[in-house]
């Protein structure tokens, strides 16, 4: 019978000291995120079994009173507002929040979550990437509670708080159609992101309901920021048959469109409100969602799970609001 792997085996496989492995296993601080992720990977590969009985007794005796928040990009005002509301809920309960960004990169997501779990967070509020869910199931089996926000995690049976992205996008496109537009462009982030797929689906469905089909030359996916969005807008402007209207898939893309002068050339409606959108000339019409409500609801669900709620996972869908400021008006 093969011998059970030891901490020394894990240290050798990860290329670190025995003390570093001990710190990761014990959930102590002072281990770099990438190093902690490497140790966790060696533990999974070797099948090393921690003493979970002792670990659970230690956790029950002294919870960390810390949660982790993992978002796509903390520099995005939407996620900043969401993070603040999670922090406020945690503060009211005497918890601290560790915050990390993934840039929608599954490997970076694993590194951040490994580092948080090595510090024995009691739970995670997660804006998931499209990465492998097995890693999260392992953490959940060790007692870490997980709640998804903004988008669900395929293959992970946990609470999720999101908005009705498809309905919100459909309302925006119908508004443009009602003002006489038939050549409506779509510019958005990567289609691998669930929210972007839902918003593009809403765009497609609204066009189909009006008897129109999507025109590929009018669609731009994969725009990760306002600079890439501005470039895409200039390409659309230079087209021999440009659109008359534009629907953008998130706030950063909308800002890129505004920078490129789209709101002076096309009718424009964006998904997500943003600071000073009502002060621009022309003011920008948007599909507004409430990031603070998303964060607050997700945090409340997470603290319920930490307190012992073991009911079936819940899916909470919040409504969006269309704000008409005039930028989605008739064809000039």
pLDDT digits (tens, 9 = 90+) for 104-120: 999 999 999 999 998 88
Name 40's Cβ contacts closer than 8 Å, sequence gap at least 6: 24, 114, 117, 118
* pLDDT tens by residue, 7-19: 888 899 999 988 8
d(CA 35, CA 111): 9
Give the residue among 154, 177, 188, 147 at the shortest CA–CA distance from 272.
188
pLDDT given at position 6: 85
**Token pair in block for residue 280:** 């621009």
d(CA 297, CA 300): 5
Cα 67 to Cα 43, 106, 146, 306: the distances in Å are 23, 20, 10, 10
- Within 10 angstroms of residue 120's Cβ, the number of other Cβ atoms is 20
pLDDT given at position 61: 46
Residues of the chain with pLDDT under 50: 1, 52-54, 61
Give the residue among 196, 159, 169, 86 at the shortest CA–CA distance from 316.
159
pLDDT given at position 4: 73
DSSP 4: P
Whole-structure pTM value? 0.78
């Amino acid at each position: 019978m093969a011998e059970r792997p030891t901490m020394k085996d894990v240290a050798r496989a990860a290329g670190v000291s025995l003390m570093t492995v001990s710190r990761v296993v014990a959930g102590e601080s002072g281990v770099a995120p990438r190093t902690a992720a490497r140790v966790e990977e060696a533990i999974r590969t070797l099948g090393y079994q921690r003493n979970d009985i002792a670990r659970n007794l230690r956790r029950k005796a002294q919870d960390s009173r810390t949660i982790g928040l993992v978002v796509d990009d903390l520099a995005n005002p939407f996620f900043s507002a969401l993070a603040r509301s999670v922090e406020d809920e945690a503060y009211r309960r005497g918890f601290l929040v560790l915050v990390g960004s993934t840039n929608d990169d599954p490997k970076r997501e694993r590194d951040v979550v490994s580092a948080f779990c090595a510090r024995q967070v009691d739970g995670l509020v997660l804006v998931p990437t499209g990465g492998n869910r097995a890693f999260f199931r392992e953490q959940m089996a060790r007692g870490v509670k997980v709640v998804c926000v903004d988008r669900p995690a395929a293959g992970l049976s946990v609470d999720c708080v999101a908005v009705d992205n498809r309905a919100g996008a459909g309302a925006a496109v119908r508004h443009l159609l009602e003002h006489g537009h038939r050549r409506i462009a779509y510019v958005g982030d990567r289609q691998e992101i669930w929210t972007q797929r839902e918003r593009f689906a809403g765009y497609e469905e609204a066009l189909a309901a009006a008897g129109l089909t999507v025109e590929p030359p009018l669609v731009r996916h994969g725009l990760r920021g306002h600079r890439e969005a501005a470039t895409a807008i200039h390409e659309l402007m230079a087209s021999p048959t440009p659109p008359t209207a534009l629907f953008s898939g998130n706030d950063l893309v909308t800002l890129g469109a505004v920078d490129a002068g789209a709101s002076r050339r096309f009718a424009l409606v964006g998904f997500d409100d943003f600071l000073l959108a009502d002060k621009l000339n022309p003011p920008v019409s948007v599909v507004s969602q409430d990031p603070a409500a998303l964060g607050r609801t997700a945090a409340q669900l997470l603290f319920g799970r930490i307190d012992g709620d073991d009911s079936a996972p819940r899916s909470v869908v919040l409504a969006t609001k269309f704000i008409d400021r005039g930028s989605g008006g008739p064809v000039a």
